[in-house]
Structure 1
Amino acid sequence: MTDPKRRARRLSLGFGVLTVVSGLATVAAVDSLPLVYQYLPLVATVLLFGLPHGAVDHLVLPRARRDPVTPRSMAFVGLLYLVVGASYAVVWFVTPATAFALFILVTLLHWGQGDVYALLEFVDASHLETRTARILALVVRGGLPMLVPLVAFPDQYAFVAESLVGLFDPNAAAALEPAFEPAVRMTVGTGFGALIALSLAFGYHRADALEPWLIDAGETLGLVAFFALVPPILAIGLYFALWHSVRHILRTLLVDDGALEALADGAYGTATARFARDATPLTAGALVILGGLALLVPQTPATVPDAVALYLVCIAVLTVPHVVVVTLLDLEQGVWSQP
């Protein structure tokens, strides 16, 4: 038997390399990739990673506590999704520009917290031993997919914003235009670049072992290049599926005793099948929500960008309660506790 954590580490790092290399290789091989093809990773992984990766939220907290899954624990998560998700959905209908800005902020925090867990659990990052270092890492890792494309590809970023907001009010996207002004992007780029340098320098200074810091620095700088060079629609599609979702799925497997045994034996298919079984009911529920949104949005999706925008709004609505569950999981697993 092999330590399942070591197997999860190899998968996490391997899929991370695959994300960056596949994106950069595509850009190097294809001079100008048509927009419709840039959507492919996001669309092709809707049922593989996109919706399923958060579809075991009703199981992870009891499993992390080594408690039985009960109707009460499942009802808690169901009520959380109903109240928090529905409340945020209302914001999209009332003030979609605000909802989009919140989506960016929540995604930054959530993707950052996912990478902080991965660095601690899979890389044993001793340079993140303090809460301050972890918060800094969260902002940097979450900011890479949200802020670097804003600086590098403002027109495409604005196009995505207009696609999402336009489903509810085609004129509301005008409120977001100041964010794409050169002066704002220059400020964001300069400030965030300084933050990245500070995070890496602070980590190097505090590192007890060099290898974890080198992995952290390599991933960070690799993602800088990835999001600066790969068009954002393609980049986010690859990153969401192969980086963020895979790492969260691995996290859920490590709190599932049956999946732990399968990983220890190298039975990846068995572990994956257990996850797929557990995620199927709520993935189906997410598809129902997606269908409901399609019927309710004022502007009927008529193009591929519109359809993907609708999917992203659905992801946004599901992400907010998902972040609450992951935050509780962080607390349960001591992600924000200092040694």
Structure 2
Amino acid sequence: MERVVGMNSRVGSHESTRERTVFRLAFLGPWIALASTAAAVLVFGAPSREVQLLPFAVSIVLFGLPHGAVDHLTLPWAYDEPPTRRWLAIVGGLYLLVGLAYAMIWFVAPIAAFALFILITWFHWGQGELHPLVELVDPTHLRTRTARALTVAARGALPMVVPLVAFPEEYRWVAARLVGLFGTVDLAALDPVFSPVGRGAAAAVVATLLVASLAVGYRSGEGRESWLVDSGELVFLSAYFLVVPPILAIGMFFPCWHSVRHITRLLLLDDAAAARLDEGELWSALARFGRLATPLTVGALLVFGGLALAVPVDPGSGPDLFAVYLVGIAVVTAPHVVVVTWLDLTDGVWQPVRRGEH
């Protein structure tokens, strides 16, 4: 795969049309979306909680929920095979078994399920950041598995842990909404996490991961451009999650950053979409993705509707529907992580790179 920002390439007239198009989609668009959100909060203050929930509503149809709705095609694309019944059975069985097992944890032990949701998302959003750095930027500062593991841990910690440090009451509100769907649940078990000591420990973990990730990358890299891209994004995302209230911050990050970067990866896997990127036809490529993602996006919404009927508490308000959506996202994320991990292994994302190799 061609690099869009690397030691031997620059964004400019000498790059291919595909490189420029991919850069706009995977980097420029996400940076603008999150920077604009942070700037608006700094200038105008945080909007009401109801307004903060709007990006989640939009993510149902735009990028967020659909980004995982072509998992049944992702692995066949990676193996350059058609989506046969065998592949559909493998991915469908994976979603059924893993998703159903995790859904049952929510009904039996919602606090444990919430904690597991945070851990799964921590890993998944971290792995979603590793692929662009390795395949679209340059792997020269992420040569070893240790460097890549630290990148996953540090990047995933930013959206999952920094909001806990900066906005503990909002974080607790979200936790209460999610576990509250399953009846009267005592949140006292989470008190140590939200205490000053717990938040201090969380801040120390994040700081350690960030420093370790940057130090290992700096030490192992041949050049500095890819390391500067990585460090610049780490600083930017750290500031973003410290400034923007978590509901709004995650509501924008999920569809506009994480999902868009994953969709970029899928467009490059899909030969038909990649051909459109070669012609600079970004909207045509995205429209094709949207058509392919629509059936299972609708299917996921039906599952979420069933979940809303199954939970003990009637989700009659906007915040409760938001909680149902997040629990539904959690349920489909678990098998989605397995698919993306499989894809990473197939693509060699975890393969070490020797010096002199790019």
Question: Shorter chain as normaliser: what TM range?
Answer: over 0.9
Amino acid at match of 1:35: R
- Verify: 1:161 aligned to 2:180, yes or no: no
| C-alpha separation in 1, matches of 2:290 and 2:131 | 22
Aligned to 1:91: 105
Q: 1:71 aligns with which of 82, 85, 91?
A: 85
- Verify: 1:328 aligned to 2:339, yes or no: no
Q: 1:80 aligns with which of 76, 79, 94?
A: 94
Q: Is the 8 A contact 1:259 1:271 kept in 2?
A: yes
Structure 2 counterparts to residues 101-120 of structure 1, below 5 A: 101-120=115-134
Amino acid at match of 2:166: A
Q: 1:227 aligns with which of 229, 236, 241?
A: 241
Aligned to 1:30: 44
Q: 1:185 aligns with which of 162, 176, 199?
A: 199
SS at match of 1:322: helix
Aligned to 1:12: 26
Q: Is the 8 A contact 2:71 2:336 kept in 1?
A: yes
| C-alpha separation in 1, matches of 2:190 and 2:209 | 24
Q: Provide the alpha-carbon RMSD of the alignment.
A: 1.3
Aligned to 1:122: 136
| C-alpha separation in 1, matches of 2:135 and 2:303 | 33
Which has the larger displacement, 269-278 or 319-328?
Answer: 269-278
Which has the larger displacement, 135-144 or 8-17?
Answer: 8-17
Q: Is the 8 A contact 2:30 2:260 kept in 1?
A: no
What's the TM-score once normalised by structure 2's chain length?
0.92
Q: 2:293 aligns with which of 274, 279, 294?
A: 279
- Verify: 1:296 aligned to 2:310, yes or no: yes
| C-alpha separation in 2, matches of 1:190 and 1:67 | 46
What's the TM-score once normalised by structure 1's chain length?
0.97
Amino acid at match of 1:18: I
Q: Is the 8 A contact 1:166 1:172 kept in 2?
A: no
Aligned to 1:247: 261
Give 1:5 deviation, angstroms.
4.5
Amino acid at match of 2:284: T
Give 1:172 deviation, angstroms.
3.7
SS at match of 1:48: coil
Tell me the alpha carbon deviations over residues 177-220 of structure 1, each in whole angstroms, 9 at most, x when there is no partner. Answer: 22111101101102321221121122122222211111101100
| C-alpha separation in 2, matches of 1:31 and 1:231 | 10
| C-alpha separation in 2, matches of 1:270 and 1:43 | 24
Structure 2 unaligned residues grouped into runs of 5+: 1-14, 354-358
| C-alpha separation in 1, matches of 2:56 and 2:337 | 20
| C-alpha separation in 1, matches of 2:258 and 2:152 | 13
Give 1:4 deviation, angstroms.
2.6
- Verify: 1:142 aligned to 2:160, yes or no: no
Tell me the alpha carbon deviations over residues 37-59 of structure 1, each in whole angstroms, 9 at most, x when there is no partner. Answer: 11111112211122100000000
| C-alpha separation in 2, matches of 1:98 and 1:50 | 25
| C-alpha separation in 2, matches of 1:324 and 1:313 | 18
Aligned to 1:100: 114
| C-alpha separation in 2, matches of 1:200 and 1:141 | 11
SS at match of 1:117: helix
Q: Is the 8 A contact 1:2 1:265 kept in 2?
A: no
Tell me the alpha carbon deviations over residues 22-42 of structure 1, each in whole angstroms, 9 at most, x when there is no partner. Answer: 221121122242111111111
- Verify: 1:237 aligned to 2:256, yes or no: no
Give 1:3 deviation, angstroms.
5.2
Give 1:19 deviation, angstroms.
3.2
Sequence identity percentage? 52
Which has the larger displacement, 18-27 or 298-307?
Answer: 18-27
SS at match of 2:80: coil
| C-alpha separation in 2, matches of 1:296 and 1:217 | 44
Q: Is the 8 A contact 1:9 1:123 kept in 2?
A: no
Q: Is the 8 A contact 1:112 1:139 kept in 2?
A: yes
Tell me the alpha carbon deviations over residues 229-278 of structure 1, each in whole angstroms, 9 at most, x when there is no partner. Answer: 10000000000010000000011111100001000001112211110111
SS at match of 2:61: helix
Which has the larger displacement, 46-55 or 322-331?
Answer: 46-55
- Report the CA distance shift for 1:255/1:46 in structure 2 as closer, same or farther (over 3 A): same
